[in-house]
Structure 1
Amino acid sequence: MRDESDVLTDLIYEAGFMPSLWPRTLDRLAHHVGARGGLLMIKSGSAEKWTASSSLDSVMREFVDEGWVDQNLRAVRCRAASRHPGFLTDHDLMSPNELETLPIYTDFLRPRGFDEGVGTAIQGIQTDGLMITFEGFSSYLGASNSVLALNRLRPHLARASAISAQMRLIQAQAATDALAAIGAAAAIITADAYVVSSNALFNQNKDDAIDLRDGRMRLLNPNANIGFLSALKAKDISIGTSIAVRRIDQSPFVLHLLPTSRSAQDVFSYDTILVVIDKLHNTSSLKPSFLQILYDLTPAEANVAFLVAEGNGLSMVASKLGVSSETVRTHLKRAFAKTGTGKQAELSLQLQCMTPPNL
């Protein structure tokens, strides 16, 4: 009969290659050491992501919903001790006075029976602040006695976590490379604008339009960059958006931001956004409906912008649409703001250069 530690090691590596299995693996590990549940947390950029065994899932949702993440001093201390090659108990990380008086213990952990736990922070993977904890021991002695067994498994946990993270990076790069094969300049970025992967076509725009220093994407056009960063923070980024980018002495291009989906249980997959550069070419196929989608214009604004791009003056636009010149001016002013232009000639030049993207 196989030893339990061998079975656990196999489960750990299975989770490494199939991250959706981490909750089941954490549950089995927790049962092995006498804890009520296990938790894996990653701090990536400004976001804290986690996956937990089923026994901890509802508790963690309460923890997040009630705002305890921002008061989690035990996690801060655990990550600060990342050079320690093993698991630490709450009593190793906190003073006796802190254990007795901090609200996170008195108001949340202790009333739920989760004030005795062990945790470790793991370095060396391409995510920030990976931490694995086991929660809900019946006593400090139970938590302390689990450390030896968990330390034997810690190298496997570290390697399996690295595998999970690396696989997600490989998948992201494969996705952008596949887009390059059809001629699309593309990158995958996080909501904090950090680049997860990019293809060679995308990287060709680094010098004249895009700054990728420090691994974070910025647009060299200041106004476009403001729009880009605002779009990343917007709550409705889930439906995608497009941003026009003007360049000095060069034709403009459009940046399409499209959210990617991920498994809700996969803590190693980023909440990512696909960025596609759409270079603009002269064409007669431009239609108001495309402008509406591209710049988030209303139907009325798109019709005005389209007619202006055709070379019509305001009075002619008003006549064709059957509205007053004042109404046309109002729609045109809003179209200027959304397209990043300021004059009819600029708007006309920009729109005459466009072609709908082949996406």
Structure 2
Amino acid sequence: MRRSSNDLIDHIYEAAFVPEIWDDVLEEIARRSRSATGALFVCSQDMPLRGRSTKDVHEFFERFLSGPNPAEEPCVQRMMGEQPTSFVQVDDFLSPEELQADAGRILLRSLGIGVNACSVVTLPKGAVAMFLFNRWIADGGYDTELLGTLDALRPHLARASLVSERLGLERAQNSVAIMENFGLPAAVLRPGGNVLAVNAQFEALDALFIARAFGGVSIVDRSSNALLQTAIGNMQKPDLPPLVASIPIASQVGLPPHVVHVVPLRRSAKDIFTSADLLLVVTQVGVSTGVPSNAMVTALFDLSPAEARLALRLAIGVSLTEAARDCGLSIASARTYLSRIFSKTGTHSQHQLVALLRSAGSLGS
């Protein structure tokens, strides 16, 4: 059902808080602008290209994002360079040769889709949000009226993008603040390794960690740092399973040996403005190991109390049937809870989940 203009604007702002809604927002804008499809890309130097699209091109969109260097395609590069503050036809900025060579356009043409209209929103942390709509080849290009329809919505798309990025920063700051409440030095990194947030206890460990260019972080000990940089690099490879690592650090300048725990934070797999982040938590050697507390699991992975109880029962080695009985759940409800736990922790099996929780066990009890 077609929404009123005010309803659509409300829906755009709702997408800032619930990333899954972007698909529906793009669908409605595509209908209003008589476009075939719509997409939202988020581009930055320290993270892989990511985005959302209208449902009819999800498969194509995933193929494009998983291709070799999608951010290097002529269409993406030219729009990132121009950063148009109103909607423009991308074809007007590319040569015929570039249009023919662009991998995204090749795939779109195979679907019968032609001209693109694009506008770019610059975000405070260095990323850009790129809104892209496409016409059927048979329908020709965008006229002034259709571009005006898109431009009328652009201020709301821009503000929603800014809110989304701000919410991601606040979640990162909350994560390290929670760790500080547990007495643990912590930092949140973007997948490329840039520091998003740190707490005061982490900053005090300047004998163990040093700042790198462009906001990165390294461990002073070379062998430990090699392991950390590998963990950070693996976060940018979607074909690899989530990596949870505990990296030993030898004593430095009067400090005892420490361990830095690298934990993937997947607040929402659909949250394209912050993507998946890495949480670094530092403990001294000798901290008790085992499974983490209910409060720690809830803080790390945004699990509900019921989800945390089930996850922790599984972490001690009981079967799903036993864990369901212990938690007063039917097996069907336990499976539903487990599916949510997998989604929030970025795991895909009970074996991965147990390994993740046992690694997090040394972070506190």
* Equivalent pair of 2:117/2:142 in contact (CA under 8 Å): no
2:70 maps to which residue? 69
Displacement after TM superposition at 1:161 (Å): 0.3
Supply the distance in 2 between the matched residues of 1:106 and 1:160 (Cα, whole angstroms).
27
Taking the TM superposition and a 5 Å limit, the aligned residue runs for 1:304-323 are none
- The alpha-carbon distance between structure 1 residues 145 and 20, as it changes in their structure 2 partners (threshold 3 A), is same
1:43 maps to which residue? 43
TM-score by length of 2: 0.71
AA paired with 2:112?
Answer: G
Displacement after TM superposition at 1:224 (Å): 1.6
Displacement after TM superposition at 1:105 (Å): 7.0
The answer as to 2:111 corresponding to 1:112 is yes
Which has the higher Rg, Structure 1 or Structure 2? 1
1:358 maps to which residue? 364
* Equivalent pair of 2:269/2:276 in contact (CA under 8 Å): no
2:125 maps to which residue? 126
The answer as to 2:230 corresponding to 1:226 is no
TM-score by length of 1: 0.72
AA paired with 1:136?
Answer: R
Supply the distance in 1 between the matched residues of 2:19 and 2:105 (Cα, whole angstroms).
33
Supply the distance in 2 between the matched residues of 1:96 and 1:35 (Cα, whole angstroms).
22
1:273 maps to which residue? 278
| Structure 1: tracts of 5 or more residues without a match | 288-354
* Equivalent pair of 1:116/1:143 in contact (CA under 8 Å): no
**Deviation digits for residues 143-194 of structure 1 (CA, Å, limit 9, x no counterpart):** 6542111112111111110001101111121121011111111111122211
Supply the distance in 1 between the matched residues of 2:60 and 2:221 (Cα, whole angstroms).
45
What secondary structure is seen at the aligned counterpart in 2 of 1:11? Answer: helix
2:260 maps to which residue? 255
**Deviation digits for residues 81-102 of structure 1 (CA, Å, limit 9, x no counterpart):** 11x3211112222124543x32
* Equivalent pair of 1:127/1:165 in contact (CA under 8 Å): no
**Deviation digits for residues 108-156 of structure 1 (CA, Å, limit 9, x no counterpart):** 2222122211111111333513211112344343365421111121111
Supply the distance in 2 between the matched residues of 1:6 and 1:357 (Cα, whole angstroms).
47
1:163 maps to which residue? 163
- The alpha-carbon distance between structure 1 residues 172 and 242, as it changes in their structure 2 partners (threshold 3 A), is same
Supply the distance in 2 between the matched residues of 1:47 and 1:212 (Cα, whole angstroms).
22
* Equivalent pair of 2:269/2:275 in contact (CA under 8 Å): no
* Equivalent pair of 2:87/2:147 in contact (CA under 8 Å): yes
- The alpha-carbon distance between structure 1 residues 61 and 143, as it changes in their structure 2 partners (threshold 3 A), is farther
Displacement after TM superposition at 1:78 (Å): 0.8
Taking the TM superposition and a 5 Å limit, the aligned residue runs for 1:18-37 are 18-37=18-37
* Equivalent pair of 1:40/1:51 in contact (CA under 8 Å): yes
Taking the TM superposition and a 5 Å limit, the aligned residue runs for 1:284-299 are none
AA paired with 2:61?
Answer: M
Displacement after TM superposition at 1:8 (Å): 2.1
The answer as to 2:158 corresponding to 1:172 is no
Supply the distance in 2 between the matched residues of 1:144 and 1:112 (Cα, whole angstroms).
25
* Equivalent pair of 1:126/1:162 in contact (CA under 8 Å): no
Supply the distance in 2 between the matched residues of 1:3 and 1:125 (Cα, whole angstroms).
31
| Structure 2: tracts of 5 or more residues without a match | 291-360
Supply the distance in 2 between the matched residues of 1:57 and 1:71 (Cα, whole angstroms).
20
* Equivalent pair of 1:263/1:269 in contact (CA under 8 Å): no
**Deviation digits for residues 196-244 of structure 1 (CA, Å, limit 9, x no counterpart):** 2211111111x21112354211112222211210122246662411111
Supply the distance in 1 between the matched residues of 2:124 and 2:104 (Cα, whole angstroms).
30
Please report the RMSD computed on the Cα atoms of aligned residues, expressed in angstroms: 2.7
Supply the distance in 1 between the matched residues of 2:104 and 2:170 (Cα, whole angstroms).
40
What secondary structure is seen at the aligned counterpart in 2 of 1:141? Answer: coil
What secondary structure is seen at the aligned counterpart in 2 of 1:147? Answer: helix
Supply the distance in 2 between the matched residues of 1:211 and 1:103 (Cα, whole angstroms).
41
1:295 maps to which residue? none
Displacement after TM superposition at 1:41 (Å): 0.7
AA paired with 1:180?
Answer: E
AA paired with 2:95?
Answer: S
Supply the distance in 2 between the matched residues of 1:59 and 1:132 (Cα, whole angstroms).
17
Supply the distance in 2 between the matched residues of 1:232 and 1:106 (Cα, whole angstroms).
32
Number of residue pairs matched by the alignment: 286
What secondary structure is seen at the aligned counterpart in 1 of 2:187? Answer: strand
* Equivalent pair of 1:209/1:221 in contact (CA under 8 Å): yes
* Equivalent pair of 1:23/1:54 in contact (CA under 8 Å): yes
Displacement after TM superposition at 1:53 (Å): 1.8
- The alpha-carbon distance between structure 1 residues 269 and 211, as it changes in their structure 2 partners (threshold 3 A), is same
- The alpha-carbon distance between structure 1 residues 184 and 249, as it changes in their structure 2 partners (threshold 3 A), is closer
Taking the TM superposition and a 5 Å limit, the aligned residue runs for 1:187-226 are 187-205=187-205, 207-213=206-212, 214-226=214-226
Supply the distance in 2 between the matched residues of 1:81 and 1:160 (Cα, whole angstroms).
21
1:5 maps to which residue? 5
